Amino acid sequence: MKIKDAVFVVSNSEVSKCPTDEKYEFAFIGRSNVGKSSLINMLTGKKNLAKTSGTPGKTQLINHFLIDEKWYLVDLPGYGYAKASKTARFKWEKFISEYLTKRKNLMNTFVLLDARLEPQQIDLEFMNWCGEKGLPFSMVFTKIDKLSSTALQKNLAKYRKEMLKYWDELPPVFTSSSESGFGKEPILNYIGAILE
């Protein structure tokens, strides 16, 4: 699948204010700075569609982008951003969890994981929480341009092993680089198959 058109629609911190047209949507979540906004830009081929930053905590709201007038990509704030005040963190988590659990047209959540890191507690906890809530998700290992393929395979194997402690099988797994564009086709085709 290819994306022809992508436009920003709305940002907010309330599920009730998200678009109500019931188009299918796909969300991107993960730790601050993992590359959620960059991945959305890479997938849509629009460099400045979602705001990115080298400093964690850039995306603070639920951002809807309408794709080809038919479906949405949704950029979410990161979790585990230590510098945010406790109140701000709590608020993010509450509206994010509300969004994730209440949004009926949310078809899949892509959980982004930094490919350079070994399995992280906060990410495992988040994925287990998705499991408890019955939310469909996939794993996307980001920034693969920053490590060797041997190191990548090692981290993937560690994740696989860790996940299989809790799960009978792994969700779909993707690898990506917003720098090189790697991973674009498989991720878009996965979305395309759900949209069909």
Q: Which of 21, 54, 148, 149 binds ligand GTP (CB under 6 A)?
A: 54
Q: By CB under 6 A, which span of 5-13, 63-71, 117-125, 175-183 interacts with ligand GTP?
A: 175-183
Q: Strand runs (DSSP E) across the chain, as ranges? A: 6-12, 25-30, 62-67, 71-75, 106-114, 137-142, 173-175
Contact status, residue 19 vs residue 67, Cβ threshold 8 Å: no
Kindly state whether residue 185 participates in binding ligand GTP, applying the rule CB under 6 A. Answer: no
Q: By CB under 6 A, which span of 11-19, 64-72, 140-148, 188-196 interacts with ligand GTP?
A: 140-148
Contacts of 121 (CB under 8 A, 6+ apart): none
Q: Which is nearer to Mg ion, 59 or 176 (CB)?
A: 59
Q: Which of 72, 73, 78, 110 binds ligand GTP (CB under 6 A)?
A: 78
Kindly state whether residue 56 participates in binding ligand GTP, applying the rule CB under 6 A. Answer: yes
Q: Of ligand GTP, Mg ion, none, which one does residue 35 interact with (CB within 5 to 8 Å by kind)?
A: ligand GTP
Q: How many residues does the chain have?
A: 196
CB burial readout 157-181, b (16+ within 10 A) else e: eebeebbeeeeeeebeebbbbbeee
Contacting ligand GTP within 11-50 (CB under 6 A): 32-38
Contacting Mg ion within 28-57 (CB under 5 A): 36-37
Determine the Cα–Cα distance for residues 92 and 81; give it in Å rounded to an integer: 10
In the complex, the residues that contact Mg ion under the rule CB under 5 A are 36-37, 58-59
